[in-house]
Structure 1
């Protein structure tokens, strides 16, 4: 599990594609009735990016940055972090209510009313219990997988909320990436695709 962050490069084409991916088994009878089973409790997110311009000059070498990042992950082998520019923050997001004796809680986010886990946090989030700000280190610890672990048991029934930034933990979909030299020191990467991973 890698924690490298996908580079922000200026040549990104407008129109990033973001697709929720589910897995459903459908069994259809001769009469046309169906039985369906959903295998995922939350979707995987597929991202498709296109870089129209990657410069290869001495002072700025975006091609090397992107190709080097891809190669350092060994294609689809190692996961990394992606900050979706349109979906990377929560404010006073309800994690849940305190359950007696429980000290671990998964960070979550709401997207159109649907709740899903946050597996990678950006920076230092604000964690509140019943409106009271908790102190990282003294009151709680945060795992690499987005779990808040409280040092002491909390009062049952209190709300736990968080505010802060997050990443999508993803991996490249393919083990190959195409880079095209279209003129002089200018290159393009027409399709770079990656998908979120579950831990």
Structure 2
């Protein structure tokens, strides 16, 4: 399981197809009544990406980047991190997103985002790309003025947590000392899926001297910690 990040390439085009799916086991009695249970509570997604062109010349090596990334994963063997390739409500990076409120004693908070009308726990992070230190603008507190009367930055009411003051594991953050009562706990991070290639092959078409395309790059992904 690697933390290599799926590459961003200019030739990607529309549509982006995603298919959420579960694993439901269904038993049917002689009467016709069904009994169902699920083998998974976190859905898996099938993603299909299209690349109308992959440029390969002295200026850009898009083909080498995509094909090399596939070869380095040994096809479907190794997993990697995949960020949804366009900014879309619910799938964009989190920025000063409130994930909890301190009470003076609680130290552990769930790492969550809201997507598709539900809370979704986050497991996949890259060190250095996330923080619990409030940034300058607070979307969760838009009424607060930019500067206080004493010319202090507007984040003075939120603690600037340093990296040594927290640890993350199993979709949760644990602080060394509890946030104060009513203190907002905010998360800023890029959101990654845990993904793998769906097949052990990828089709690359050479349609012009310096250009290839890939009409179907299929991924299997989950917001969970593993596949």
What interval of TM-score do these two structures reach, taking the shorter chain for normalisation?
0.7 to 0.9
Q: Displacement of 1:50 after TM fit?
A: 1.0
- Which protein shows a greater Rg? 2
2-structure distance, mates of 1:154, 1:172:
41
Q: Displacement of 1:43 after TM fit?
A: 0.9
Within the candidate set 121, 128, 133, 2:125 is matched to 121
Q: Pick closer, same or farther for the CA change 1:133–1:76 going to 2, 3 Å.
A: farther
2-structure distance, mates of 1:120, 1:95:
16
Residue 169 (structure 1) aligns with: 194
Residue 165 (structure 2) aligns with: 139
Residue 208 (structure 2) aligns with: 183
TM-score by length of 2: 0.73
Q: Displacement of 1:125 after TM fit?
A: 2.8
Please say if residues 88 and 167 of structure 1, whose CA atoms lie closer than 8 Å, have aligned partners that are also in contact.
Answer: no
Q: Displacement of 1:138 after TM fit?
A: 4.0
1:55 aligns with 2:55: yes
Q: Pick closer, same or farther for the CA change 1:127–1:28 going to 2, 3 Å.
A: farther
1-structure distance, mates of 2:112, 2:23:
21
Q: Displacement of 1:58 after TM fit?
A: 1.9
1:21-74: CA deviation from partner (whole Å, max 9, x where unpaired) = 111111112222111112222211221101110111122111111000111111
1:118-165: CA deviation from partner (whole Å, max 9, x where unpaired) = 12235123367xx7335132421345x654232235679987442432
Query: RMSD of aligned C-alpha atoms?
Result: 2.8
**SS of match in other structure, 1:133:** coil
2-structure distance, mates of 1:79, 1:53:
25
Q: Displacement of 1:191 after TM fit?
A: 0.8
1:25 aligns with 2:25: yes
**SS of match in other structure, 2:177:** coil
Residue segments in structure 1 that go unaligned for 5+ positions in a row: none
Residue 68 (structure 2) aligns with: 68
Higher strand share: 1
